[in-house]
Structure 1
Amino acid sequence: MGKHIKGVTSIKKAVYDRIAMQDDISKAEIMNEFQMTSSSLTRLLEEMTNEGWIMESGFGQSTGGRRPILYRINANFRYIFGLDISRIYSVLGLYDMRMQPLAMVRWSMDESMTPERLVQHVQQQVEQMLSEQGIAHNLVIGMGVGAVGPLSREQGKILNPLYFAAPGWKDIPLRRWLEEATGLSVTLENGANTALTGEHWMVRDEHIQHMLYVHVGTGLRSAMMSNGHVVHGAVDMEGSIGQMIIQTDGPRLHGAGNYGALEAFASVQALEQQVRARSKMGRSVWDSQVAVKPEAINFTTLVQSLETGNDHIKEIFAQSAAYMGIGLANLINILHPEKIILGGVLINSHDLFYNTAIAVAEQNIYYSNSYRPVFSKGLLEENAVATGAAVMVWHEMDL
């Protein structure tokens, strides 16, 4: 039974979405999924081809008659920007209609990167990318933004996120500022949701309906997809996973949040804080040939020490990853996703963290005979948020 969709615009977009799901699709394959007459679909495909949304890509195999015409979306008909605003770095990408990146730039979110400075930088990069690619401004559909929360998607505002190095990140009307600076339509969403959207796009041919994304970095963020749609709560609190209590009498991170919360054990800040504390107390942390003063300890020095085989740092990372695994198991036992994507600088810092977190999670997941979730770092990794932000605009556009 094919899909029955009301409205010419919605039919057009649904057919376009179906063509985008695979390269080189025939009219017969499209007909299998939509309640349309052959003549109606032929007219619609001709209209979309004449407008430039899709293009003929050759001929398929004959089944006894004429070889069927194959279609695919026209990658260079329009373009979309995707912006990732995170605490450690931000990323801006320019994408074609197949979500292939044509240009990508990354910059550090240091003490100088205030909201005003970021908007100015994005404006400059947008103009430079379009100029270098020879793309007219009016061919850009818009810009999707995946940002650290909490935020208001409806108001287009970043509310009061923690741990930005630069001052001023509170109650920022980011959507309005970016639209005024770039002249583009802007859509704001939290970064965990756009990362999940991007990773789901990359495996769209697998038809996964229930997917969990967890970002482990300066803070912890999560997003869930059910029946192919991102789940939104009553409020945007993407960092709530960090407040999951895993040890009732445990510490708090920087004296805030819940006691024994996951973020106090498994985050970049927790690792830095723990190593600094051990170092100040005179406890052995560094190998004899390398020593770092407590005030100079940061995540980069920790990863460097881990890569050189420092047993003390290795133990701290492994313990942090084990706590992360417990948090993952708690989420999975509640949500039962088919696939779990792990991202963020801590996940990608070293295989030790990723592998340990998964091993502990698997040991603590309640399995039924028919449920075995799949773990992955994802295909996009550090570009997941920006790519997913562009995909979000792609999904919401009108033809």
Structure 2
Amino acid sequence: MEFIGLDLGGTFIKVGVVNEEGKVLRRTQIPTCAEGGRDKVLSQMEKAIKEVWKEGIGGIGIGTPGLVDKEGRVFLAPNIPGWDDLPLRAYFEKKFSLPVVVENDVNTITWGEYLFGAGKGTRTMICITLGTGLGGGVVWEGKLLRGAKYSAVEIGHIPINFKGPRCKCGNIGCIERYVGSRYICAMAKRGIKKGRKSLITELVNGDLEKITPKIISDAYKKGDELAREIWVKVGEYLGVLFSGLVNLFNPERIVIGGGVSQAGEILFESVRKTIKERAFAVLIPELEVVPAGLKQDSGIVSAASLIIRSPF
């Protein structure tokens, strides 16, 4: 049987037909048109689904920004105007007369990695996406952990320093304030402004505002010491976070995805080393820390995975 997966982003809607093995058979991508508000976005979603539609589809999975309750109703989604108190599952079930599953986008990626990606074969795993911010999800004994108010595992806002900098959420010392992309870039800027010699400066032609995590990665691959220190430090911060999560959940695998994870093995080595130093020793031998397995079509495959096998 074949299924439709829809990945709703702030800029683009990505939709594809996916088989039971997680292979994308057809795909399309159209603008989200979020500035047009709720009705326009719904119209765009419907249009994208119809572009890949064929007879015999078994259901539709949707990954969306915001919190999602057990009825598939979306709330607290600030990036799309009007995307609040929205019965998204009921809307598309009525439109297409098919079963529909709706879930928060990061939880969706977590389930996709569990079913078809780097978490395949485990029972308990942690998945994070590391980019502008830090999001994550947990699969616990084969089920997606959602919490009483459907907002479990707000990993980015776990505090790791009670005297740390204030986060945009209002809390103090959240992990996102240390490993989000803008803060990684800030580490590089501080080092250079303090007089550190670095290839990073050359790669941005002296304009420090052009520094990105990719620039830092490129500098590291060319042997830059400041870049190496930055990725080791980011790995240490993540390792501290994961040490607590390992002690709490005893996962078999930690999966790290998102743009910042492209730093490569220098980041993963630092994460593993810190976990080994800080987590409960008996939990370490069976633990793996690995990069995400789903790549180009991760959003589509993950959304389809919601309907291929229930995460609840």
Shorter-chain TM-score range: 0.7 to 0.9
Write out aligned runs for 1:351-362 (5 A): 351-362=265-276
Asked if structure 2 preserves the Cα contact closer than 8 Å seen for 1:83 and 1:389, the reply is yes
SS in 1 for 2:260: coil
Instruction: Summarize deviations over 1:337-383 as a string: whole Å, max 9, x none.
Output: 12222222211343322332233223322122895212222422454
State the distance in 1 between where 2:303 and 2:81 align: 23
Instruction: Summarize deviations over 1:293-322 as a string: whole Å, max 9, x none.
Output: 354444555455455554333432331221
User: 2:57: which partner in 1?
Assistant: 140
Instruction: Summarize deviations over 1:102-153 as a string: whole Å, max 9, x none.
Output: 02346788986966555444334333333xxxx33xx223321123333334
User: 1:37: which partner in 2?
Assistant: none
User: 2:291: which partner in 1?
Assistant: 377
User: 2:144: which partner in 1?
Assistant: 230
Tell me whether 1:189 sits opposite 2:98 in the alignment: no
Percent identity between matched residues is: 19
State the distance in 2 between where 1:196 and 1:218 align: 18
Give the TM-score taking structure 2 as reference length.
0.79
User: Structure with the greater relative contact order (CA < 8 A, sep ≥ 6): 1 or 2?
Assistant: 2
Instruction: Summarize deviations over 1:169-222 as a string: whole Å, max 9, x none.
Output: 752624466567777653211223222322222379975322222222222222
RMSD: 3.7
Could you tell which deviates more after superposition, 152-161 or 217-226? 152-161
| 1:210 counterpart letter in structure 2 | T
State the distance in 2 between where 1:326 and 1:370 align: 14
Write out aligned runs for 1:58-77 (5 A): none
Instruction: Summarize deviations over 1:32-58 as a string: whole Å, max 9, x none.
Output: xxxxxxxxxxxxxxxxxxxxxxxxxxx
Larger-gyration structure (1/2): 1
Tell me whether 1:159 sits opposite 2:76 in the alignment: yes
Asked if structure 1 preserves the Cα contact closer than 8 Å seen for 2:71 and 2:89, the reply is no
Tell me whether 1:79 sits opposite 2:2 in the alignment: yes
Asked if structure 1 preserves the Cα contact closer than 8 Å seen for 2:160 and 2:175, the reply is yes
State the distance in 1 between where 2:141 and 2:195 align: 50
Identify if the C-alpha distance between structure 1 residues 334 and 111 changes in structure 2 by more than 3 Å, giving closer, same or farther: same
Q: Decide which of 71, 91, 95 is 2:18's aligned counterpart.
A: 95
Asked if structure 2 preserves the Cα contact closer than 8 Å seen for 1:149 and 1:237, the reply is no
Write out aligned runs for 1:40-55 (5 A): none
Identify if the C-alpha distance between structure 1 residues 351 and 271 changes in structure 2 by more than 3 Å, giving closer, same or farther: same
SS in 1 for 2:275: helix
Tell me whether 1:293 sits opposite 2:204 in the alignment: no
Tell me whether 1:257 sits opposite 2:170 in the alignment: yes
Identify if the C-alpha distance between structure 1 residues 245 and 205 changes in structure 2 by more than 3 Å, giving closer, same or farther: closer
Deviation at 1:245, TM superposition (A): 1.5
Q: Decide which of 208, 214, 235 is 1:321's aligned counterpart.
A: 235
Identify if the C-alpha distance between structure 1 residues 155 and 393 changes in structure 2 by more than 3 Å, giving closer, same or farther: closer
User: 1:212: which partner in 2?
Assistant: 126
State the distance in 2 between where 1:110 and 1:305 align: 36
Asked if structure 1 preserves the Cα contact closer than 8 Å seen for 2:66 and 2:77, the reply is yes
Asked if structure 1 preserves the Cα contact closer than 8 Å seen for 2:29 and 2:48, the reply is no
Instruction: Summarize deviations over 1:235-283 as a string: whole Å, max 9, x none.
Output: 12256211212112111234x432111010012232244445667x575
State the distance in 2 between where 1:339 and 1:390 align: 22
Aligned residue-pair number: 308
SS in 1 for 2:66: coil
Identify if the C-alpha distance between structure 1 residues 386 and 283 changes in structure 2 by more than 3 Å, giving closer, same or farther: farther
| 1:220 counterpart letter in structure 2 | L
Identify if the C-alpha distance between structure 1 residues 106 and 360 changes in structure 2 by more than 3 Å, giving closer, same or farther: farther
Asked if structure 2 preserves the Cα contact closer than 8 Å seen for 1:343 and 1:382, the reply is no
Could you tell which deviates more after superposition, 216-225 or 286-295? 286-295
Could you tell which deviates more after superposition, 318-327 or 350-359? 350-359
SS in 2 for 1:346: helix
State the distance in 2 between where 1:373 and 1:157 align: 34
Give the TM-score taking structure 1 as reference length.
0.64
Tell me whether 1:311 sits opposite 2:200 in the alignment: no
Could you tell which deviates more after superposition, 322-331 or 201-210? 201-210
Unaligned runs of 5+ in 2: none
Asked if structure 1 preserves the Cα contact closer than 8 Å seen for 2:276 and 2:284, the reply is no
Q: Decide which of 271, 274, 286 is 2:184's aligned counterpart.
A: 271
Asked if structure 2 preserves the Cα contact closer than 8 Å seen for 1:213 and 1:224, the reply is yes
State the distance in 2 between where 1:113 and 1:263 align: 30
